[in-house]
Chain A
Amino acid sequence: MSQKKRLSKTETSSPSEQRQSSTSGAVCEDEDAMFTQPSTSQVQRSLEKLSPSQVDQKAAEVVKYILVKDQKKIPMRRADLVKHVIKEYRNVYPEIMKRVAHTFDQVFGLKLVNTDTKNQSYILINKLEATAGAPSFNSVDPKMGLLFVVLSVIFMKKGVARESLMWNMLGKLGINPIKQHEEFGDVKKVITDEFVRQRYLEYVPIPHTEPPQHNFLWGPRAEVEVSKAKILQFVAELHDRDPQSWKHQYTEAHSSQDSQASSSSQR
C-alpha cells in the first residue's frame, strides 16, 4: 500500500494528478471517483513513464483475467478489473483496455463489448457467426434451450412479457417455478437470478401491483449477443410458417440485424 502511494507520487507532477492519485489510492467505494477517466494527455504522460513491454504485460494479464472470468458469463466490472489486475496501472487504464480489445479481436475472434457506459462493465461475444448444423466443439449447456424459450417469448410478445405469462408458458414445458427441475434445479433462480446477473434478462417490477409482479425484458447482453432474426427464423420454423407472417417482429429483427451487420462489417 505504502509502496503504491510512493509510486503514484513519483509518477505525478501536477497538482491535479496528485489529487487523482490520492482518490484512487483510497478504497474505491465511491463509484464516481472510480470512473473518472484520466484525460488523454494524462494517459500520454503516464505512458511515457512505462516501458511498452510493461503495458503489454499488464494487458495480457487483463486478457487472462477476462477469459477466466467469462466462464460464468457474468459481466466484468471496471472496478473489479482495476482492483484485481490493473492496480497501479490505473492511470493508463484506457490504453490497456484498448490493447485488450485489440487482442480479443485479432487473436481470439471475440469482441469486448461495454454494456454499461455508466458503470463500465464488459462482456465478450463471438465475432464468428455460428452456422446451423455445424458440429459444435463445446458441450451444449441445456440452459441455453431454456434461455431461448424465455427470450423468444419476450421477443414474440414485443419486448415485454409478464412473469405470470412466462411461468404459464414454461409450465406447458414441464417447468414449475416452485419445483426442482431435473435438468435446471431451482428454475426460478436460474431465470430470475442467474440469467439476470449474466445480463441476458431484465427483471423489472410492475408499478401498482400488490403483491409485486414483474416483467421480463431482454437484457443488454441478449441485445448484443442474440440475433433476433435467427430467433424469429427458428420460431417460424417450429410453426412451419414464413418469418414474415409476424410483421412487427420481422421488421424489428431485420432493422436490428442491419445495425448488427453494419457493426460487424466494420471488422
Chain B
Amino acid sequence: MERLRRPSAKEQASRQDGTTRHNSREQQRCNEGSDFDSTNGQDDNERGVRKEIRSKYRDLIDSVHRNREDLLSPSNNKLTEVLEEADKLFVNVRETSEAVLDSKFVVVATDLNDEKASQMRDEDSALDLTAFAEHLLTFMGLNRLESDGEEQSGDQIDGYLPSDAWHRLARRAEDCFRTAPTFRYMLGSFHAEPPPPKQRIERQKRPPGKEAKRIMPTQLKKMEEAEQEATEKEVERILACLKRYHQDDPSSPIPYYEFVIDPDSFSRTIENMFHTSFLIRDGLAQICLDQDKLPNIAPVEEVGMEIPVDAVGSDNRNASIVSISPKIWKELIDTFDIRDAMIPPLNNQ
C-alpha cells in the first residue's frame, strides 16, 4: 500500500521542485520498484540486510532534519541528492517496517520540497536572513573593528555590540506597534517585580527563628536536669558526711542543728537543711529527740541495722517543719557555740 502510494508522492514533490532531471529519475525509480515487486520473497532471510536498511533510513531522516536549512538553500541540489540516496535504499525494501520508514522520509522530503518550491516562486523577493541580520546589526551600532578586543565566546557576532543596541532597535521599531502605553502612578507604586525577593528575605529569616525557638526548650530541659543532678549530688555528699561522722563516733548522737548550720553563711545553712530533708524523706537518715527535746540526726543503717521501731515511735511517718530565720540562726550559733560547718561548703562554687 505504502509502496504504491510512494512514487506519486515523490513525483509530486519533485514537480514542485521544478527540476526535470529529478522527474526522470523518479520515473526510473518507479520502474525499479515494480521490478522488485516481482522478485519479492527471494531474499527474505537476510535479517542483517533488513536491519541495515532500516538504520540507513533512520540516519537519512535524521540528517534531513539536521541539515534542514542547508537543504532549503536555493543555491544547491542537496535535496535531490538526498532523494537519490533514498531511491538507492528503496531498491532493497521488502518489509512493512522499512516501507513505513520510507514513507516517513517521503513526508519529510515533501515538506522540504514544498518550502523550497515556495521559495523559488518568488526568489527575488525572499528575505535573505543573513543579509537581514547584518543590516540589523549595523543599525544597532555594531562596531566591527573592535571584534578582537571584546571576546564574545560562542556568540556569532563578529564585532562589538554597544550595550544600548536593543534599546536603539526597540525605539525605532516602536512606531510599528500601536501598543497602549502602560499605566503608571506618578509617584511610583509597587513595582511589578518586588514580591518574589520579599519572600526570599522572609525565607532566609525564618530558619534561624525556628532554630532559636527549638533551642529554648532544650536549654530549659538541660537546666532542670542539671539542677536535679546538682540536688542529688549534694544530697549524696551530705549523706556521705553524715555517715562519716557517725562512723567516727557511733555512740554519740549528732545534734541536728550543729550538723546543718554553717556559721559563715545563712544561705548555706538553708541549703543544708533543704538537702538533709531529702535524706529524711527517703529514709536514709532519721531525726530523734533527745532528753532535752533537741533533735539529733543519725544515718539509717542498711540491712539489719534498723533502729528499733519503739525507739522511733509507732508514728514514724511524722512530717515536721523546721523554720529558721537569720535571727534564730545567730542564736543557734551562739547557743551551740558552732565554730565550723560540719558540712564543708562546696569549694568549686
Could you list which residues of chain A lie within 8 angstroms of chain B, going by C-beta atoms? 67-68, 70-73, 110, 124-132, 136-138, 140-149, 152-153, 156-158, 162, 164-165, 168-169, 171-174, 176, 179, 183-184, 208-209, 224-227, 230-231, 234-235, 238-239, 245-249
Contacts and interface: CB of A to CB of B under 8 A. Distances in A.
A156 B167 CA distance: 23
A245 B125 CA distance: 6
25 contacts: A71-B182, A110-B180, A126-B179, A128-B178, A137-B181, A140-B167, A145-B167, A145-B170, A148-B176, A156-B132, A165-B129, A172-B129, A172-B137, A172-B157, A173-B140, A174-B161, A176-B155, A208-B104, A208-B107, A235-B132, A238-B135, A238-B136, A239-B132, A245-B124, A246-B125
Contact of B173 (A70, A73, A224, A234): A234
B170 A143 contact: yes
B192 interface: yes
Contacts of A138: 181-182
A176 B179 CA distance: 27
Contacts of A164: 68-69
A180 to B, nearest CB: 12
B178 A227 contact: yes
Contacts of A153: 127, 129, 132
B114 to A, nearest CB: 11
A138 B174 CA distance: 11
A114 B167 CA distance: 30
B131 interface: yes
A226 B133 contact: no
Given A145-B169, A174-B152, A238 B176 contact: no
B125 A239 contact: no
B172 to A, nearest CB: 7
Contacts of B137: 172-173
Interface string B116-131: 0010001011010111
A142 B166 contact: yes
Nearest to A260: B178
Contact of B129 (A67, A136, A137, A169): A169
B171 A140 contact: yes
A142 B181 contact: no
Contacts of A231: 176
B127 A225 contact: no
Interface of B: 65, 68-69, 104, 107-108, 111, 118, 122, 124-125, 127, 129-137, 139-140, 152, 154-157, 161, 166-183, 192
B178 A126 contact: yes
A18 B91 CA distance: 73
A63 B125 CA distance: 45
B35 to A, nearest CB: 30
Contacts of A162: 68
B170 A72 contact: no
B152 A148 contact: no
Contacts of B154: 176, 179
The 4 A-B pairs with the shortest beta carbon distances in the complex, nearest first, are A145-B169, A148-B173, A172-B133, A142-B166
A227 B135 CA distance: 21
Given A146-B166, A239-B132, 9 more contacts: A67-B183, A73-B179, A126-B178, A128-B178, A142-B167, A145-B166, A164-B68, A172-B134, A225-B179
B331 to A, nearest CB: 80
Contacts of B157: 172-174
Nearest to A72: B192
A247 B166 contact: no
B176 A141 contact: no
B306 to A, nearest CB: 80
B129 A144 contact: no
Contacts of A224: 178
A70 B182 CA distance: 7
Tell me which of A127, A147, A184 has the highest count of chain B C-beta atoms within 10 A of its own C-beta.
A147
Contacts of B169: 142, 145, 148-149
Given A173-B136, A246-B127, A226 B171 contact: no
A226 B176 contact: yes
A245 B123 CA distance: 11
Contacts of A235: 127, 132
B133 A126 contact: no
A238 B176 CA distance: 14
Contacts of B132: 152-153, 156, 169, 235, 238-239
A158 B129 CA distance: 14
A71 B140 CA distance: 27
Contacts of B192: 71-72
Nearest to B124: A245
A174 B160 CA distance: 11
A133 to B, nearest CB: 8
B178 A141 contact: no
Given A132-B175, A158-B118, A70 B135 contact: no
A210 B150 CA distance: 39
Contacts of A132: 172, 175
